[in-house]
Chains A and B, each alone.
Chain A
Amino acid sequence: MVMQTVNSPDRGLTTAPIQYLEFEQPLSRIENDIALLKVEKEETGRDLTAEIAQQESRYQARLKRLYQHLTPWETVLVARHPQRPLITDHINHLVSDFCELSGDRTFGDDRAMVTGFGRIGGHKIMIVGHNKGKDTPGRVACNFGCAHPEGYRKALLKMKLAEKFKLPIVCMIDTQGAFPGVGSEERGISHAIAVNMMEMSRLRTPIVCVVIGEGGSGGALGIGVGDRVAVMEHGFYSVISAEGCAAILWKTHEQKSRAAEALKFTAKHLKKLDLIDDIIAEPVGGAHRDPVQASANLEKYLINTLRELKRPRIETVLRRRYERFRNIASFFDAPSDVAQKPKPRNPKRTPATTRIANGGGGRNVKDPATPSKDAAS
């Protein structure tokens, strides 16, 4: 099988020097020390192997520690890292025989949304996802991953093809949000997103959604309704950007890291709130440090999950999908519910300690028949 490259060639991230983020400066200093030691070794002929090895292990320890304790704002920076693998990288790494399909048959072809057939493991699938673009011209052509209505309509059209030909769907979410512009409003961005969510809730084929980087609000949710929703370890999924939230509630962008804390949008938080099913592990130091390994983790997750979703009858899959979204994010008090409704049997599927209490009688019922699988993590 031929591995086909999409849109732009792989820039070979594994060999390119890593661009350090601000909070990674200590790492950059250790790297400099190592480089100096190497030069010294070269020039003086002294045996500095032990010193170099020591610095390298210091580097690895520091890297691991940094990434184990990323703050929410640091997570945003990692998720937006310019070298973070995009949908095109994941397609190149884990999908064989990718056959890109274009156009919404109504207005045009939105490059911010990639759609096409592909094979992963033994599965033929339809892939749908945001593309942020690699280099500057690519990013401009893709509007930095912010799709217009035609992008969402293209996605839906291809997903309906998948339903017709009985192929499961994999959605890769990576966007700041839907494109905010005049054309976007004129062509009905609200309508496009709403219709996608409605149709995805009833498409008669399994759907797996993964936030591979940024999950930006409605623009993410427009391809985000499925049987499983996962977030990559250092990805995030938020109702509004930290900057936007800070500007509205604190009246200043300066408070973005506080807003990031308050919004609780990291994978771990979302999992605790039972808003997502799974977290997919990333290599130490983030997906951009080892994109091939990141894709391998994603591949393992997708293959396992697709196998799981293909087993039951589609009616069962659909019923569970509906119940999942019907009961998601139910945090309220409802005294009369307690009086009227019998408590559902065995509704919990996550330990009580990880749940946020929803007051007296709020519904927070999850389908006990869909156990969470932390595959690949």
Chain B
Amino acid sequence: MVERREIPAGVWDSCDACGHMVYHKEVAENLHTCPECGHHQRVNARTRIDMLVDPGSFEEKDADLSPVDPLKFKDRIPYNERLKAAQDKTGERDAVVSGRAFIRGRKVALAVMNSDFIMASMGSVVGEKITRAIERATDEDLPLIVVTASGGARMQEGMVSLMQMAKTSAALAKMDDAGGLYIVVATDPTTAGVAASFASLGDFILAEPGAMIGFAGPRVIANTIKQELPEGFQTAEFMKEHGFVDRIVKRQDLRRELARLIDYCGK
């Protein structure tokens, strides 16, 4: 995955998509989308929550869940050090922020993934916080909204990470049995283990324009088929065309669209 350059506050920068020089403050006011081409930048979980929920309505839950190192994993850098670096960089304990909030006056259970934290890869904390959010929504009969973004499983947690796919999917089956409403908002990038579990199991799947959504890495696929990948492969638009996304929703419209679906479902 390409690391996006940090954009220092209050300066000009060029848009990743169209290359236009854009004023940072204007981009921020535009919900971190390019005023020229509409490109949706990645945003961290806190920024996302600020943009999405009614002001001051977010009540965080399970904030104290922190990762451990179940395998004592060490590659070039020990996993503990990677975690520490990600925690220092983001000020978060792991890659999901979750809780309750109101969206246009409708009470929801919310979980937002944070691609700034080891590309929001899914380890035990991510799986547990998502599962607890599902259980909260089920127990309190709240609509559940999960804003997904992830590079996939967190390799440093090995099979502990893979099993989070089964855990979250089983919890969603229970929620489904209870008649709960679950909406996925897929953002850039929603891939691999997260795409192949809770990000694909929404009653409704919304996606941000241009978001990368897919299972296998594009390089892996290119290696398999030994040819160029089709234009627009594994984008939100591609997934919609193939029947796996309900609606492409611009960030500016997201609050309204979510409220609309919640109302249709009578929740």
Q: Would B215 and A263 count as touching, CB distance under 8 A?
A: no
Q: A180-B216, A249-B76 are in contact. Are A273 and B198 (CB under 8 A)?
A: no
Q: Report how many residues on chain A are interfacial, defined by Cβ distance under 8 Å.
A: 62
Report the minimal beta-carbon distance from B1 to chain A, rounded to whole angstroms: 10
Q: Which segment of A21-29, A48-56, A236-244 sits at the interface? A: A236-244
B212-253 contact mask (Cβ, 8 Å, vs A): 1 or 0: 011111001100110001100110000000111000000000
Q: A359 interface residue, CB < 8 Å from B?
A: yes
Select A328's contact among B163, B216, B230, beta carbons within 8 Å: B163
Q: Is the CB of B170 within 8 A of A225?
A: yes
Q: Give a binary string over B156-189; 1 marks a CB under 8 Å from any A CB, 0 the rest.
A: 0111111111110111111011000000000000
The interface bits of chain A over 335-377 (1 if a CB of B lies within 8 angstroms of the residue's CB, else 0) are: 1100000000000000000001111001100000000000000
Complex CA gap A259/B74 in Å reads 9
A88-126, CB < 8 A from B: none
B85 lies within 8 A of chain A by Cβ = no
A329 lies within 8 A of B127 (CB): yes
A186 at the interface (CB under 8 A from B): yes
The stretch that binds B, out of A78-86, A133-141, A192-200, A283-291, is A192-200
- Which chain B residues border A238 with CB–CB below 8 Å? 158-159, 162
Given A218-B196, A273-B159, A197-B166 contact (CB < 8 Å): yes
Residue tally, chain B, CB below 8 Å to A: 63
Chain A 209-241 near chain B by CB (<8 Å), digits 1 or 0 = 000000001100110110000000000011110
Which residues of A are found within 8 Å of B229, using beta-carbon distances? 182
- CB contacts under 8 Å to B, within A302-343, are 322, 325-326, 328-336
Q: Chain A nearest CB: distance from B46 CB in Å?
A: 21
B261 at the interface (CB under 8 A from A): no
Q: Complex Cα distance A322/B171, Å?
A: 8
Interfacial chain A residues near B163, Cβ < 8 Å: 275, 325, 328-329
How many Å from the CB of A117 to the closest CB on chain B?
Answer: 26
A residues less than 8 Å from B159 (CB atoms): 237-239, 263-265, 270, 273, 275, 329
Chain A contacts of B62 at CB under 8 A?
Answer: 334
Among B200, B225, B230, B233, which residue has the most Cβ atoms of chain A within 10 A? Answer: B200
Chain A CB within 10 A, most for which of B73, B169, B213? B169
Complex interface: chain A residues within 8 A of B127 (CB): 329
Cβ-defined contact, B167 with A275, below 8 A: no
Partner of B200, one of A178, A191, A335, A362: A191
State whether A265 touches B193 (Cβ < 8 A).
no
- How far in angstroms is the closest Cβ of chain B from A182? 6
With CB as the reference atom, state the residue of chain B lying closest to A248. Answer: B155
Contact residues in B for A356 (Cβ distance below 8 Å)? 70-71
B225 touches A221 (CB 8 A): no
- Please indicate which of the listed interface residues A180, A189, A270, A326 has the most CB atoms of chain B within 10 Å of its own CB: A180
**Bound state CA distance, A238 and B216, in angstroms?**
16
B111 at the interface (CB under 8 A from A): no
Residues of A within 8 A of B75 (CB): 249-250, 258-259, 262
Min CB gap B155→A, angstroms: 6
Which residues of chain B are near A202, meaning CB under 8 Å?
A: 170, 173-174, 177
What's the minimum C-beta distance from B70 to chain A, rounded to whole angstroms? 4
Give Cα distance in the complex from A8 to B66, angstroms.
Answer: 51
Distance from B118 Cβ to chain A, minimum over Cβ atoms (Å): 12
* Min C-beta distance of B219 to chain A, whole Å: 10
Which residues in A have their C-beta under 8 angstroms from that of B234?
Answer: 185
Query: Which residue of B has the minimal Cβ distance to A276?
Result: B159
State in angstroms the CA–CA spacing of A329 and B213 once bound together: 26
> Is the CB–CB distance between B215 and A190 below 8 Å?
yes
Bound Cα distance A357, B200 (Å): 32
Q: What 10 A-B pairs come out closest when comparing CB atoms?
A: A180-B216, A201-B170, A329-B163, A249-B75, A197-B169, A194-B200, A190-B195, A331-B70, A190-B196, A239-B162
- 20 contacts across the A-B interface (CB closer than 8 A): A182-B230, A185-B216, A187-B242, A189-B196, A190-B196, A202-B170, A202-B173, A218-B192, A221-B162, A221-B165, A249-B75, A250-B75, A270-B159, A273-B159, A325-B163, A325-B166, A331-B70, A334-B64, A334-B66, A356-B70
Q: A181-B225, A188-B244, A264-B158 are in contact. List 5 more A-B contacts (CB 8 A).
A: A180-B220, A182-B221, A202-B174, A221-B162, A333-B66
Which A positions have Cβ atoms within 8 angstroms of B?
178-182, 184-191, 193-195, 197-199, 201-202, 217-218, 221-222, 224-225, 237-240, 245, 248-250, 258-259, 262-265, 270, 273, 275, 322, 325-326, 328-336, 356-359, 362-363
**Which residues on B are within 8 Å of A, measured CB to CB?**
62, 64-68, 70-71, 73-76, 124-125, 127-128, 131, 153, 155, 157-167, 169-174, 176-177, 192-193, 195-201, 213-217, 220-221, 224-225, 229-230, 233-234, 242-244
